Structure 1
Amino acid sequence: MQAPSDAIPVPDALAYARRLIGSDPTRALAQVREVISVTPHVGEAHRLAALVLRRLGRVAEAEDADLEAVRMAVHDPDMLTAAQAMLANELHIAEPILKGRLKAEPTDCAAIRMLAELAARIGRLPDAEHLLRRVLELTPGFGAARANLATVLYKQNRFADAVAELDNVLTDDPDNAAHSNLKAAALGRIGGYDEAIALYEELTQRFPDHAKLHMSHGHMLKTVGRQEDSIAAYRAALAVQPGLGEVWWSLANLKTVRFDETDVAAMEAALGDPAISVEDRFHLHFALGKAAEDAKDWAASFGHYAQGNAQRKAQIDYDADDISRHVKHVIDSFTPEFLAARAGVGHDAPDAIFILGMPRAGSTLIEQILASHSMVEGTMELPDIPSIAMREGRDHGDVPGSWVAAVRDMPAERLAELGAEYLARTRVQRKSDKPFFVDKLPNNWLYSGLIHLILPNAKIIDARRHPMDCCFSNFKQHFAQGQAFSYALDDVGRYYADYVRLMQHIDTVLPGRVHRVIHEALVADPEAEVRRLLDYLGLPFEEGCLRFHENARAVRTASSEQVRRPINRDGMDRWRHYAPWLGPLETALGDVLTAYPQVPPLR
């Protein structure tokens, strides 16, 4: 046998063991284990032991050796430097260290996992997923990597896949509240509300002092229409953490809660605390804006909305020109000739009904009406069309509308494949055998041309609301995610104008393809507008569509409580009270504002 490993440098001893693997793996393993007995903190030795054990068919022992190598990373100076750089968000320092490490040690699972985290942080989620799957291929028992994979899948809107990975994680670590919380959130995104609520009830009992668990519980209860229970959950969160701004905003966002003087005083006290986070601060401003609005103190209300929006906008990277360029790219490309050359392609299934347009334009109301029909299933705001578009456009440059170039180069069969993929991806959301289902993602207006090409028999409904009413409603609504255009009056006005410009183009090149529902007309004469809508869809009229507020289905959007009431004018024309401060919005809207049908004056 080779001389004791402490008699020669460790690298030489390990190099000798590597040379033995092919000819004498048993002797190689003995050599590696001798190194480990003398220097147990050398991760490379454990990785080499895993390699030899796999060669010998001892898979379980090999996995244990891989996990031990991961644990030894804390003793490695290079890995410590990389970890400290990641902690400081100095990714430019961490990346070359990790890549250099993997060039020398391609199976270093700790380094692969850290590189996956780096990829996820810069938004390269598919790359992060690939790296994490490589880790789990090498070390299936690496629970932290599997949990990371579940998070990456969740962020890619692959919620069912995330649940499957979390089930594996929780089998080994059943008491991990963070993993259970993520599983409950993922279940909520695929309609598993009962299981999600049961999980939250268990978690809030086990961790009663965890305010955000109570908050998440409240979100889920609100979704299924248990409003009083959701309010109780939100109040439980505030009892633990009175300054948690998102909870105050969640109460305000129910639209039916009226804050009393005690509530307002508590919010103002929290806002006056210099230690609260920026996130808490802007949520509190939005909630106080709603409180002042209910009290008809319009100046104070606008002041809070303006401050909340300014603070939120400072945190995001949004350029209104990107949307304008995206729209121009679609208009320039989706010409009559382009569309005629692709007539008859795509997947021929008629199942999907897309409701798109601006947020806060009445799309949830339309969905609730249609979901009350015996042949239509309501789902939620599905992220699949944007996900498909962004993925297809990835090889055509990281620019707005890059998916258009991808579509331009696609063979006909690829368009049909994308239609089939969309139907497969959304299958998890369908809980009944109804022939049609609703996809109510407002921002799909940007992809209306893509929808037409991949699903030519799908129906497209454009939910349209008065520009001032709609845009100001967006401005005073803090969205949990997305809608970066909504945090400045000029940005939201430009976004609305770009939306109208694209939909006018679609009307021109595909006349009759899109059915438009004017919100004010729907409120004024619900039956006439519902009949027009159902005629477009080729569905018979059903009285249940007019009794949509009796439908107990789950609703995730900010309008969840509003659509559980009969049609009313309560939210209409609110912008008129704020008219003195809305000059930038009017300017940004321009001709779009003057072209919109006149609405009745405020009553």
Structure 2
Amino acid sequence: MATVSIDEALANARRLLNGQPAAALAQARAIVEAVPTATEAHRLAAHALRRLGREVEAQAASLAAVGAAIHDPAMVEAALALAEDRLPDAEGALRARLKADATDVAAIRMLAEVAGRIGRYGDAEKLLTRALELAPGFGAARANLATVYYRQNRYAEAIETLDAVLGEDPDNPAHANLKAAALGRIGGYDEAIALYEELTRRFPAHAKLWMSYGHMLKTVGRQEESIAAYRHALAADPGLGELWWSLANLKTIRFGADERAAMEAALGSADPADRARDDDRLHLHFALGKAHDDAGEAAAAFRHYAAGNAIRAGQLDYEAAETAAVVDAAIATFTAGFFAAHAGSGDPAPDPIFILGMPRAGSTLVEQILASHSAIEGTMELPDLPALALGLGREVEGDGRRWVAAVAAAPAEKLADMGTAFLRRTAVQRRTGKPFYIDKLPNNWLYAPLIRLILPNAKIIDARRHPLDCCWSNFRQHYAKGQAFSYDLADMGAYYRDYVRLMAHVDTVQPGAVHRVIHEALLDDPEGEVRAMLAFLGQPFEAGCMAFHANARAVRTASSEQVRRPINRDGVGLWQAYDAWLGPLRAALGPVLDVYPRIPAAFG
């Protein structure tokens, strides 16, 4: 069949589709028989079959169109644009394709990839769901949907979707790896470790699999095995910067001269002009910063920390003014009168305990102490409260950052629904049957007024540490995700100051609602501070809380190894060796530094 006759046949099938779907199907199938790679003919067959009520066959035809798409010049061009990260070009081409045929499953999936790359996960989910309605057997779309669920912190849904994917493709290590990561996010550590053990047996030279395995072993306290896994991965790929940082981040490893030389060699081989190697470079800088820090070489350590922070800051593009604007809005909106007018709102459940504040302020220590009590379950840093707030902002105001305005306009039933939604979403983390459980996400300080509105009987503990110790500890810490404020000294000082002034405001308008734990006071008088915390929570003192370091529970934070040791003062005053470089931090902190740990009402 000549090219022109194929075009004519396709045009004829389109004409027949509206009134004579059976004839259109026959025409489309004739084209496919002659040219199996004729993508549009497969799609026309799917349309005709749907109009004939033959949905199962239509789904098969839609899936066949996906396979033929690799021979379609327009789709190849769109795929090339995606591969080269020319997202506007890819999006334009795919939208044009879907305007012509809204059921083009391959184009739908590729447009979902565009949406996912720019963080529009809700759009990506809708597109992928539509693709799977049209072609339930489209395994790549189902795997993409699992990834979208994972990135939206919907780990149970990701696991369920991955089980379906692995049922069709059981030998795919990427899918099994993602399932193991999702299991780790909901406390399924034993199953996750078993998966990693299987994967590392099958792929012994896969460095990133061994690294993920090491992360999970670290989380459950199997430190020696985690170190062995990291070192196995380094033998496979000594230039993978994240491996060196993973060892450094244990906080118990001191690198020898040979290891420092190996890191310097890896750093030297990573071309600064090659943006694809930025992650390797920044991880190596942080690891070398730790190595020089341990050796007492402050100038060299600061040089590496600053270089690693600069790379990461460039990737994240944090705007301190946006955080300040949210705090300003919260202080202006959530007044004493506002809370009085909303008395009795929210879900009355008393179960959650929120430990919040700055990262690296001792919150993991507080959590470990409380999780050693017979009535309190430790979980992890849960993403659900910010997700609820930002989701409401997008829903009501079209911008997640405007969540304060959205909350201000919310009726009482909406506030109750949000509290109930938090309890429902976090139920997957509860595994012991204890009556109370902890959400230890530090950044929840920004949502402290929201907690008071949607969960008025929940308890809030503010873990606070000396601003210079706390901020310096953040500057030398690379986070796997989030904490975008922490990669610039001035941004960090502004963030700490915003945190203090919002919490001071909460103290003023909701007196007694927040219990503050000053880290240095906890180090000086552990039992006295623990008794005060438990009294605030309405729980009796238990001696087990003082033996928190013997608690074998999993810990996912950067302090995981530190809280497996008795209380010590090792982290106090570490900023002093670096004071010569901390001018921007001091300037941004301003009066907050001078009044610590007191919190004058003027800050509110």
* Residue 376 of structure 1: how far off its partner (Å): 0.6
Cross-structure match for 2:478: 478
User: Following the alignment from structure 1 to structure 2, what is the Cα–Cα distance between the partners of residues 400 and 322?
Assistant: 12
- Equivalenced residue count is 594
SS in 1 for 2:327: helix
Moved more, 109-118 or 265-274: 265-274
Does 2:32 correspond to 1:45?
A: no
| 2:151 corresponding residue in structure 1 | 155
Deviation readout 1:287-333 (Å, 9 max, x if unpaired): 11111111112222212111211222122211111111111011111
CA contact (8 A) 2:392 2:400 kept: no
Amino acid at match of 1:202: E
After the TM superposition, which residues 506-545 of structure 1 pair with which residues of structure 2 at under 5 Å, given as runs?
506-545=506-545
| Mapping 1:479-498, distance limit 5 Å | 479-498=479-498
- Spell out the pairing of 1:81-96 with structure 2 (5 A cutoff): 81-96=77-92
Say whether the 8 Å CA contact 2:298–2:577 is kept in structure 1: yes
Cα distance in 2 between the residues matched to 1:29 and 1:325: 59
Residue type of the partner of 1:194?
A: D
Between the aligned partners of 1:202 and 1:395, the Cα distance in structure 2 is 43
d(CA) in 2 for partners of 1:597, 1:274: 43
On the 8 A contact 1:6/1:35 being kept in 2, the answer is no
Looking at structure 1, the residues matched to 579 and 107 of structure 2 have their Cα atoms a distance apart, in angstroms, of: 56
> For the Cα contact (< 8 Å) 1:325–1:400, is it kept in 2?
no
Choose the corresponding residue for 2:172, options 161, 170, 176: 176
One-letter amino acid matched to 2:423:
L
Matched, 1:167 2:174: no
Counterpart-to-counterpart distance in 1, 2:356 and 2:458: 13
Distance in 2, Cα, partners of 1:202 & 1:59: 39
Spell out, residue by residue over 1:186-224, the C-alpha distance to the aligned partner (whole angstroms, 9 max, x if none): 110011111111111111111111111110000000000
Shift of 1:25: 4.2
CA contact (8 A) 1:6 1:38 kept: no
One-letter amino acid of the counterpart of residue 414, structure 2: R
Residues 140 and 399 from structure 1, CA distance in 2 versus in 1: closer, same or farther, beyond 3 angstroms?
Answer: closer
**Contact 2:380–2:440, Cα closer than 8 Å, also in 1:** yes
Q: Is the 8 A contact 1:461 1:516 kept in 2?
A: yes
The one-letter amino acid of 1:47's match is R
Which TM-score applies when normalising by structure 1? 0.96
Q: Distance in 1 between matches of 2:410 and 2:214?
A: 45
Give 1:28-427 correspondences, 5 Å limit: 28-275=24-271, 277-397=277-397, 401-427=401-427
Contact 2:50 2:58 in 1 (8 A): yes
Cα displacement (A) at 1:8: 7.2
Give the deviation of 1:28 after TM superposition.
3.3
SS in 1 for 2:380: coil
Task: Give SS of 1:66's match.
Answer: helix
CA distance in 2 between counterparts of 1:511 and 1:200 reads: 48
Q: Does residue 438 of the first structure (1) align with residue 438 of the second (2)? A: yes
- Structure 1 position 79, deviation (Å): 1.6
Structure 1 CA distance for aligned equivalents of residues 528 and 549 of structure 2: 18
1:448 corresponds to 2:448: yes
After TM superposition, give the deviation of residue 547 of structure 1 in Å: 0.6
Paired amino acid for 2:426: T
Separation of aligned partners in 2, 1:261 and 1:51: 67
- With 26-35 and 249-258 compared, the bigger mean Cα shift is at 26-35
The answer (yes or no) to whether the contact 2:155–2:183 under 8 Å persists in 1 is yes
How far apart are the structure 2 equivalents of 1:185 and 1:399? 30
CA distance in 1, matches of 2:76, 2:265: 42
Aligned pairs (5 A) from 1:545-584 = 545-584=545-584
Match of 1:601 in 2: none
Which residue type is aligned with residue 536 of structure 1?
F
TM-score normalised according to structure 2 size: 0.95
* Conserved 8 A contact 1:362-1:464: yes
The sequence identity of aligned pairs, in percent, is 66
1:463-511 CA distance string (max 9 Å, x none): 0000000000000001111111111111111110110011001111111
CA distance in 2, matches of 1:448, 1:89: 39
Q: 1:361–1:465: 8 Å Cα contact kept in structure 2?
A: yes
CA contact (8 A) 1:379 1:429 kept: yes
Distance in 2, Cα, partners of 1:27 & 1:587: 77
RMSD: 1.7
User: Partners of 1:564 and 1:258 in 2: how far apart?
Assistant: 18
Q: Are the equivalent residues in 2 in contact too, given 1:330–1:401 (CA < 8 A)?
A: no
Compute the displacement of 1:18 (Å).
4.8
How much has 1:99 moved relative to structure 2? Answer: 1.4
CA–CA separation in structure 1 for the residues paired with 2:91 and 2:26: 35
